[in-house]
Every structure is written in C-alpha cells, then in structure tokens.
Amino acid sequence: MIRNIGLDVEPPKSICEDHHCPFHGTDPVRIRGRIFTGIIENDKMANSVIVRRDYLKYSRKFNRYERAKSHIPAHNPPCIDAKKDDLVRIAECRPISKTVSFVVVEKL
C-alpha cells in the first residue's frame, strides 16, 4: 500500500519496511513545512543523507548576491535509496532524530 503524502511527487517503485518511510511506514513521517531541492553530499550514514542546498544571499554591503550553501541532514528511506551526487527533493517533517527533520521524497 502506498500512502499519498500530499505532494506532487512520483511515488517510489519499490516497497520498503522502514517504519519512518512517508510512503509505506507504519509510523510514517507526515510532510509539513518547507520543501527544498539539493544534491547529496554524503550517503555514509544508515538511512540518512546530507543534502547540500545552494542558494543566493543578498549582501547589503556590496549590493549584490553572494553564493551560499547549507547542509541539511535528511532521512533516506530504503525504497528511494538516494546515493551521493543525486539531485533530490526533501521535505520537512517532524524530528526523526536529534538532527534529522527532513525526509527525501523524490529523486530528480
């Protein structure tokens, strides 16, 4: 059974047993809050990834935009199984652990 997570995303083809999975979990994380796209910088953790988000930040001193980046830890359910250098969409959810409150919802 695949749950509708309330976002316009392609649901994953495979099925997983992860209880935190937003699509198949028994204790699913519900999507609310912000949605970002970014590139995976680190996939060495079990079921979590670090996503790099590049954005432009206005600098008042120089009256122009400067490039900035941030690192966001996100849960990576086994049915999506995103790897390093993948472009992914992540969505905010309740805190899953001390640092993780985003979940990967789609590979782009």
Residues that bind Zn ion (CB under 5 A): 16, 21, 23-24, 77, 79
CB closer to Zn ion out of 73 and 77:
77
Torsion of CA 52, 43, 18, 26, to 10 degrees: -20
CB closer to Zn ion out of 23 and 102:
23
CB closer to Zn ion out of 51 and 104:
104
Write down the least CB distance from residue 17 to Zn ion, Å: 8
Question: Within 10 Å of residue 8's Cβ, how many Cβ atoms?
Answer: 6
Write down the least CB distance from residue 54 to Zn ion, Å: 28
